[in-house]
A and B are shown apart, each in its own frame.
Chain A
Amino acid sequence: MTVDPNVFLAILAMAAATVLTRISGLLLIRFVTIGPQQRKALEAIPPAVLMAVIAPTALVTGPAETLAAFATALAATRLPLLASVATGVIVVAVARALIGA
């Protein structure tokens, strides 16, 4: 149970960067008024960021991940969160076992 000084410094740097991003949105809206077009742009950000985060995994990692991502998306239209996530995990495990990836 030790903490390496270099590791601690790295953790502090990551924490500072993250706090900065979390707080600066609030500061932004205090000083900038948000019109209809800015609001539209803001509304597009969440789906765009989520898509960007998963796109490499879902599309270019391998057939097992692509299949599982589509299965998860399909499940999400009918099932609650946890069941959809479980669907994805099971599909990816089975597909990897079958394809051998």
Chain B
Amino acid sequence: MAPLIVAVMPIGLVFGAVAASKGLSSLEVTLMSALVFAGGSQFVAMDIWSHPASWGALGFSALLVNIRHVLMSASIGTKMPAFSGPTKYAAMLLLADEIWAMAETRAAQARLSAAWYAGLAVPFYFVWVLASLAGSVAGAFLGDPKAIGLDFAFPAVFVVLLMGFWKGRETGAVLAASAAAAVLSHQLLPGVWYIAAGAAAGVIATLVIDQRREACA
């Protein structure tokens, strides 16, 4: 858990710095991190930021980037029998990629408890919000985050989480399909459709492999 919280700190700092460079005030940066709390969509929002801010475009892009949360919450929701109804919904409000991946990993080994989940998600949330605020204040002094490779902390976390899902050759097929579809749509389509395309391709690959196996058996 501690490594996850340490890893989110530089990403929050980078987000705050990037947002400050786009002209957002520290209060606006803090509000966005506190209310949206979804790093991927916040970085995408900075990519397409305009003056004045367009709520329609930003809301839609957040929906697309975060559409994966539907499936993530469906998946983790089945592993929360120990949670009361309201606790389950409260837990979902703090569902970020990293929290979800850790919770899935935990659920594979032990019974997922609300206390364990809160112990992971609550500190993670506050570190994200505070690091964004610090980043927006320090933005001017940080210089170019790219020069020291800090911008890569975000993709690197995803690479590590991804490696945790490796279950042999079938996972390889899912990843190959997802990567091919994502790269292709990223090159051809504007916006963030590539995430939806990669997810769909991976699921289709699994279902095709499954059907073939049934046909052989």
Kindly identify which residue among A1, A37, A49, A69 contacts B195, using a CB–CB cutoff of 8 Å: A49
What residues of chain B have their CB less than 8 Å away from a CB belonging to chain A?
3-4, 6-7, 24-28, 31-32, 35-38, 40-42, 45, 52-56, 58-60, 62-63, 66-78, 88-89, 92-93, 95, 97, 100-101, 104, 146-150, 152-153, 155-166, 171, 174-175, 177-179, 181-183, 186-187, 194-199, 201-203, 205-207, 210
Q: Which residues of A contact B28 (CB under 8 A)?
A: 2-4, 7-8, 11
Interface residues of A in 48-85 (CB under 8 A from B): 48-60, 65, 68-69, 72-73, 76-77, 80-82, 84-85
Inter-chain contact B3/A47, CB cutoff 8 Å: no
A34–B71 CA distance with the chains assembled, in angstroms: 12
How far, in angstroms, from A59 to B184 measured CA to CA in the complex?
11
Q: How large is the interface on A (under 10, 10 to 19, 20 to 34, 35 or more residues)?
A: 35 or more
In the assembled complex, A98 has its CB within 8 A of some CB on chain B: no
- A interface secondary structure, majority: helix
State whether A29 touches B74 (Cβ < 8 A): yes
Kindly state the separation between the CA atoms of A17 and B25 in the bound complex, as whole angstroms. Answer: 22
- Contact A3–B25 (Cβ < 8 Å): yes
30 A-B interface contacts by CB (under 8 A)? A3-B25, A4-B52, A11-B35, A14-B38, A14-B42, A14-B45, A14-B58, A15-B36, A18-B36, A18-B37, A40-B206, A47-B174, A47-B175, A49-B195, A50-B97, A50-B165, A51-B174, A51-B175, A51-B182, A52-B202, A53-B182, A53-B195, A54-B162, A55-B186, A68-B149, A76-B160, A76-B163, A77-B163, A82-B7, A88-B149
